[in-house]
Structure 1
Amino acid sequence: MCTLSERDRKVNWHPYTQMQTAAAAVPIVRGEGAYLYDDKENRYIDAISSWWVTLHGHANPYIARKVSEQLHTLEQVIFAGFTHEPAIVLSERLLELLPENQSKVFYSDNGSTAVEVALKMCLQQSYNKGLPKTKILAFTDAYHGDTFGAMSVSGRSVWTAPFKDQLFDVLFIDPPNADNLPAIKNMISQYAQELACFVYEPLIQGAAGMLMHRAEELDELLSFCRALNITLIQDEVFVGFGRTGKLFAANHLHTQPDIMCFSKGLTGGTMPMGITTCTEQVYQSFLSEDRYKALFHGHSFTANPLACAAALASMDLLLQEETLQRIQSITEQHIVFAQSITEHPKVKTLRHTGTILAIEWNTGEDTSYFNQFAAALYRYFWERGILIRPLGNILYLVPPYCISNEDLSYIYQTISQALDTL
């Protein structure tokens, strides 16, 4: 009889994987809280929330119950010309938590498409107004998704090389700091009349290696762009819903975006959903007696009632005092641990924001997603019952909020041992 791994190899093609050389995929048969269990009943701590999505742990009974209740009421309905209460309530509750200028919610099905929607809003807003704004501003080494629009505004790399001739032109700038801000402002000024929008990952560039920039300089940059009437798209797909220590990265900033993008933790990792919110001004630019000025974008599963129910349940859990205290506790424990290893000779750099901790390993090689040290790191932790997914030589932690202090301590202890032995 074939194992699950053997059956998988025959039929499945996995993401970000060179299938010819990759090890067999590990079968996971169930999850519970911060743990995953394989087909041999080995238990692993999910230290990365299964690609940054599982806020409240696996198989959360409250979310499961709410989705089950919705499943027995309404599982799906077309959202063009129809609506339903879960979508209305989710939009109402989310807008209450977001910056006051956010006015409308547009549903899609993942983070990449949430960004696609935002880009189309900006470009068509300019088109509807008859403005010659077709250029987009983005950060170097950005990552906004893998669909073509999202790829275009992501940093150019080996990931995007096969498609370079199909990606639209983007003006890239480095994340701001005290030294480079004057030069960045000067460059933006030269293109301001052509710039439809600035799309950015606030505070943390996740896929780039958990690169972090300060809120103060980002605020200054956003304020400068606002003064030049450049629409601001804040991609909170990764950092939203508590990851930065506050509910949203926007809570760290004074200058608020015109458009915001959400996914990942939105449903507590239960099922796919994307959301793009915008100001009333952006929304109004599509209102017209001319039907051709409507936003022509949609998905079959737009505002799926089950995903809305999961998102509402996740929001219930997120706003509980116990969860908010756990976010603060994880943040504080990360800080204490980071201080304990900051002088270790194998630690090249340490980066920390909220519940996210990144350790750049000093391997003698350039930092890269394809750094071979990733395989050794992954194997070392997996053999000790911890799931991580290094970004090359960068080990990071993005734990679910339900993780226990004991499990966090064990992860820290294992990192310390790895620093001494690997």
Structure 2
Amino acid sequence: MSHNQAWMERDLAVLWHPCTQMKDHEQLPLIPIRSGSGVWLEDFDGKRYLDAVGSWWVNVFGHANPRINARIRAQLDSLEHVMLAGFSHQPVIELSERLVALTPPGLSRVFYADNGSSGIEVALKMSFHYWRNAGRGGKQRFVTLTNSYHGETMAAMSVGDVALFTDTYKPLLLDTFKVPSPDCYLRPEGVSWEDHSRAMFAHMEHTLAEHHGEIAAVIVEPLIQGAGGMRMYHPVYLTLLREACDRYGVHLIADEIAVGFGRTGTLFACEQAGITPDFLILSKALTGGYLPMAAVLTTDDVYQAFYDDYATLKAFLHSHTYTGNPLACAAALATLDIFRDDAVIERNKGLAEHMGRACAHLADHPHVAEVRQTGMALAIEMVADKADKTPYPWQERRGLAVYQHALARGALLRPLGSVVYLLPPYVISPEQIDFLAEVASEGIDIATREAVSVSVAAGGPATFHDPG
């Protein structure tokens, strides 16, 4: 028995894995990972896999990064954790100061949570509570975009719209307004991204005009709808949305959990629209992919709505046990140091251009409807019919064939349904990008053959959608 096989058997005897139909693993082997270094992961049999998806979009500076490792080790010797209610510590103060300085102007307060979904819950609760404290208790509903994803806790699912994750739980979810997405994949032929995004804003304008008296906030994933298939839109939509939220007296929540920290070509996606949201949610790359943490940044106006005598009961009495954990703060501070010292955003421009060139040929593939890119995120949409963008039936699980081929070739590519995407760590080299493009091309050829094997199709819905 191989080392991998031994660990896999032990795993399957006790674990229940996320975003997985466990019956699939009767045919689809688990990959137990022993170590990571840079862009590479290594299993217990010594095989390496290039991490093309940043281990669910979190790893930006490579596995076992020596600078992040050293900062965490140093912190471990002084303070591992202390509750943040009534207490504080140096790393959380320094991190908060730096986030306020780096994020769009006007965001002056930082509230911490334990993960991205929890950060969404904080922002939704804080917006609702703000209006209640302000004497506008009727503003209780939220607006979200179709095909959006904001996490898998109850309120986060309520403002999401990826059916695979939400349909089962609909009886438990909040009633929200869902506005058609500005997703530019769906634009008419010959229409630019900007013109399509402008045109699609009419739906949002109408919803806000009709219902602003009952709306607390609009929540969006700026520029890229991640788990919805890496669908992308133009920054002008965010500019128009900020203006409309101001006009109608509605909060704007920017979920930059997946797109923050350089993924879209700027440090934060909101910068490309020149806007400041009322709430900015950060997670994933915040700690370089090391430890779970989320930061919710907001304005002094929001903060002051809660600042009062205790007896008024206006305080935001929300907490997480590991809020502002010093080890996670240390990882985040080291991550910010690398952004500061290594000209990361500028280097990423060259890498993004190379990634675009390496994958450009796939636009001519007979079963690829689009190759789209925003910064260091590139997506390839496989379809049954290129002419009218007819998707493959989800039951065929074409993306799974790409995943399996990539593993055989030594790459971790985990498609979103029929969308193959690259979201690599920023320490990737041009040569490694070329390798991923080659593997993706081969995998797409295999996956789009008429007789593609779907040996685990009976395992249930398209489990190769990813949580954010």
User: Does TM, scored on the shorter chain, surpass 0.5?
Assistant: yes
Q: 1:288 aligns with which of 308, 317, 320?
A: 308
* Comparing 328-337 and 385-394, the one that deviates more: 328-337
Paired with 1:369 and 1:329, the residues of 2 have a C-alpha distance of 35
Paired with 1:254 and 1:368, the residues of 2 have a C-alpha distance of 39
**Corresponding position: 1:184 with 2:190:** no
Paired with 1:370 and 1:264, the residues of 2 have a C-alpha distance of 30
SS at match of 1:220: helix
Q: 1:129 aligns with which of 102, 120, 134?
A: 134
What amino acid is the match of 2:113?
S
**Corresponding position: 1:264 with 2:270:** no
What amino acid is the match of 2:296?
T
* Comparing 97-106 and 222-231, the one that deviates more: 222-231
Deviation at residue 370 of structure 1 after TM alignment: 5.9
What amino acid is the match of 2:29?
A
Deviation at residue 369 of structure 1 after TM alignment: 6.5
**Corresponding position: 1:154 with 2:179:** no
What amino acid is the match of 1:21?
D
Deviation at residue 351 of structure 1 after TM alignment: 1.4
Alignment of 1:200-211 (within 5 A): 200-211=220-231
Conserved? CA contact 1:326–1:402, under 8 Å: no
Conserved? CA contact 2:38–2:62, under 8 Å: yes
* Comparing 156-165 and 266-275, the one that deviates more: 156-165
Aligned to 1:89: 94
Deviation at residue 322 of structure 1 after TM alignment: 4.4
Distance 1:237 1:303, change over 3 A: same
Deviation at residue 284 of structure 1 after TM alignment: 0.6
**Corresponding position: 1:237 with 2:257:** yes
Aligned to 1:32: 37
Deviation at residue 127 of structure 1 after TM alignment: 1.0
What amino acid is the match of 1:20?
K
Distance 1:81 1:151, change over 3 A: same
Paired with 1:325 and 1:386, the residues of 2 have a C-alpha distance of 26
Paired with 1:242 and 1:80, the residues of 2 have a C-alpha distance of 32
Conserved? CA contact 1:372–1:392, under 8 Å: yes
Q: 1:76 aligns with which of 65, 69, 81?
A: 81
RMSD: 1.6
The number of residue pairs the alignment matches comes to 422
**Corresponding position: 1:9 with 2:12:** yes
Deviation at residue 188 of structure 1 after TM alignment: 1.8
Gaps of 5+ in 1: none
Q: 1:374 aligns with which of 399, 420, 423?
A: 399
Deviation at residue 222 of structure 1 after TM alignment: 2.4
Alignment of 1:324-343 (within 5 A): 324-343=345-364
Deviation at residue 329 of structure 1 after TM alignment: 1.7
Paired with 2:445 and 2:169, the residues of 1 have a C-alpha distance of 42
**Corresponding position: 1:410 with 2:431:** no
Conserved? CA contact 1:152–1:168, under 8 Å: yes
Deviation at residue 317 of structure 1 after TM alignment: 1.0
Paired with 1:415 and 1:370, the residues of 2 have a C-alpha distance of 21
SS at match of 1:59: coil
TM-score normalized with structure 2 length: 0.87
SS at match of 1:225: helix
Deviation at residue 217 of structure 1 after TM alignment: 2.5
Distance 1:178 1:253, change over 3 A: closer
Conserved? CA contact 1:108–1:302, under 8 Å: yes
Paired with 1:339 and 1:391, the residues of 2 have a C-alpha distance of 20
Q: 1:109 aligns with which of 90, 103, 114?
A: 114
Paired with 1:158 and 1:340, the residues of 2 have a C-alpha distance of 31
Distance 1:212 1:367, change over 3 A: farther
SS at match of 1:298: coil
SS at match of 2:41: strand
Distance 1:245 1:196, change over 3 A: same
SS at match of 1:124: helix
